């Protein structure tokens, strides 16, 4: 049987499924996706211990005298660099920020005084603020509801190094431009901002521009991205969407899907599902099945009873498994993951905020096979065989594959059109309110301090 027939036999969507999986196979062999070979560490030459000089008397340790911390010297600003900063401040509105936040009057006054300590102090402070806001976002963490995606940019590109490089090259604007998100959606929002016709529309665009700055500037060459308000998932390669999928996301309230930036560590074909105790005990499933193993087997469960009396119920692989025929393993403290579902009818509903937080994916089998090929080096035959085995099969990823769970209420849809989406969780209001207030000094906080709600029930 050829690959096309095998894939169609696995339940994929005809030629579209075949094309996608074959595209994944092709992309997996492109150099940009090739796994980097580990470079072996140099092997040290053997040491002849007989030739080592042994001290005849113990050497007392040298105790260094305490050194008083030295003040960090301010970088020197020429008037030309300070003028360039002033120009950048006055133009920052095009990035959805506010010139007044960066005190242009104070900088102008310092420039008039001439080069010296006051100019160095003022320009460094204001440049640092602009760097932080363009790199990390202006919205304080307290206004980022259920935000658990830690932005790595400040670690990769520290503020002091940016300042030093910009002053050395005398390129203030270039340093700021290099901080902007590279995703095409950010550019689309930037283009739309001057065309906004109402203050509300302008505020929504600014809020969503800032949300892009909360993420890594560059999301990677290949990744998965779910926009919760749109209720869609994209498989993206080199900033091009090669496939999109409808998804079901968490219900508003306690089961709302959090915002995350995680890594897929494995593709699980034919997963099992450990039934939560809220169902085992709360709905009486355990008591009903624990002494009736044949009934448990007929219903697709394996039941065990621990020494302390706790009943554990594990749903076995199959079409009726609550996780369907696929799960993407992306370990995180919230127990959120992407998976298949036997309840396909929900994908036809216009509002799909229905789950306990996890993300159900339409066409999940196709996605699993494509991920296995792109990220785990599987062949199409391997992927079809893993699916058709109907046995639990975990395929570890051999290439880094990020997955982003985001919340954009103004964004390009999967067809590339800029649209507004329903603010299903009401997360716009605190962001917009924070933008209307004076800028807050950044703190060391990197993610929300809200309670981590761990819900392992995908139903």
392-422 pLDDT, tens digit per residue, is 999 999 998 999 999 999 999 999 999 999 9
Specify the pLDDT at position 234. Answer: 97
Q: Which residues belong to CATH 2.40.440.10 in the chain?
A: 184-271+318-459
**What is the CATH number that goes with domain 184-271+318-459?**
2.40.440.10
The share of the chain scoring above pLDDT 70, in percent, equals 85
What is each CA distance from 127 to 89, 124, 131, 386, in whole angstroms?
Answer: 9, 5, 6, 54
Provide mean pLDDT across the span 33-53: 42
Residue 40 has pLDDT above 50, yes or no: no
Long-range pairs of 151-158 with CB within 8 A, sequence gap ≥ 24: 151/213, 151/214, 151/215, 151/216, 151/446, 152/216, 153/179, 153/216, 153/217
Residue-wise pLDDT tens digits, 293-341? 999 999 999 999 999 999 999 999 999 999 999 999 999 999 999 999 9
User: Given pLDDT bands bounded at 50, 70 and 90, which one contains residue 27?
Assistant: confident
Residue-wise pLDDT tens digits, 341-364? 999 999 999 999 999 999 999 999
Mean predicted lDDT score pLDDT of the chain = 89
Specify the pLDDT at position 278. Answer: 86
Specify the pLDDT at position 139. Answer: 98
Specify the pLDDT at position 37. Answer: 38
Evaluate the CA torsion angle 257, 258, 259, 262 in order and state its sign.
Answer: negative
Residue-wise pLDDT tens digits, 79-114? 999 999 999 999 999 999 999 999 999 999 999 999
User: Given pLDDT bands bounded at 50, 70 and 90, which one contains residue 73?
Assistant: confident
Of 54-68, 110-124, 202-216, the range with the lowest mean pLDDT is 54-68
Residue-wise pLDDT tens digits, 130-147? 999 999 999 999 999 999
Of the two residues 251 and 69, the one the predictor is more confident about is 251
Specify the pLDDT at position 50. Answer: 38
Specify the pLDDT at position 38. Answer: 39
pTM value > 0.85: yes
């Amino acid at each position: 049987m050829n690959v096309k027939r095998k894939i169609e036999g696995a339940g994929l969507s005809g030629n579209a499924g075949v094309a996608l999986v074959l595209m994944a196979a092709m992309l997996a062999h492109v150099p940009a996706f090739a796994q980097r070979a580990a470079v072996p560490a140099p092997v040290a030459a053997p040491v002849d211990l007989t030739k080592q000089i042994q001290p005849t008397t113990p050497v007392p340790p040298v105790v260094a005298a305490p050194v008083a911390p030295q003040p960090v010297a301010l970088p020197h600003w020429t008037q030309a660099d300070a003028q360039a900063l002033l120009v950048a401040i006055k133009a920052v509105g095009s990035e959805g920020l506010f010139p007044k936040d960066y005190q242009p009057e104070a900088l102008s006054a310092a420039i008039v005084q001439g080069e010296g300590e006051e100019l160095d102090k003022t320009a460094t402070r204001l440049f640092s603020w602009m760097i932080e806001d363009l790199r990390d976002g202006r919205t304080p963490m307290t206004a980022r509801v259920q935000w658990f995606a830690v932005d790595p940019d400040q670690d990769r590109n520290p503020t002091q190094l940016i300042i030093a490089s910009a002053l050395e090259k005398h390129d203030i604007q270039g340093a700021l431009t290099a901080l902007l998100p590279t995703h095409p959606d950010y550019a689309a929002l930037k283009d739309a901002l001057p065309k906004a016709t109402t203050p509300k529309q302008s505020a929504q665009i600014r809020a969503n521009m800032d949300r892009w700055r909360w993420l890594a500037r560059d999301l990677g060459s290949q990744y998965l991205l779910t926009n919760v308000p749109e209720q869609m998932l994209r498989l993206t390669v080199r900033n091009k969407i090669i496939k999109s999928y409808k998804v079901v996301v968490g219900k508003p309230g306690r089961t709302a899907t959090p915002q995350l930036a995680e890594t897929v560590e494995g593709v699980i074909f034919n997963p099992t599902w450990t039934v939560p105790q809220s169902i085992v005990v709360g709905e009486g499933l355990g008591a009903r099945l624990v002494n009736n193993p044949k009934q448990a087997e007929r219903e697709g469960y394996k039941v065990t009873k621990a020494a302390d009396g706790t009943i554990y119920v594990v749903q076995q692989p199959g079409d009726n498994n609550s996780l369907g025929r696929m799960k993407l393993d992306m370990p995180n403290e919230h127990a959120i993951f992407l998976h298949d579902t036997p309840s396909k009818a929900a994908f036809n509903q216009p509002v799909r905020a229905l789950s306990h937080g996890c993300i159900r994916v339409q066409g999940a089998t196709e996605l699993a096979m494509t991920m296995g090929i792109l990220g785990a080096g599987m062949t199409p035959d391997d992927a079809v065989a893993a699916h058709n085995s109907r046995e639990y099969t975990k395929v570890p990823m051999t290439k880094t594959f990020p997955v982003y769970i985001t919340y954009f209420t103004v964004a390009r849809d999967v067809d590339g059109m800029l649209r507004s989406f329903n603010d299903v969780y009401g997360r716009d209001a605190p962001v917009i309110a924070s933008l209307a207030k004076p800028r807050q000094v950044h703190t060391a906080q990197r993610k929300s301090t809200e309670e981590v709600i761990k819900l392992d029930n995908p139903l």
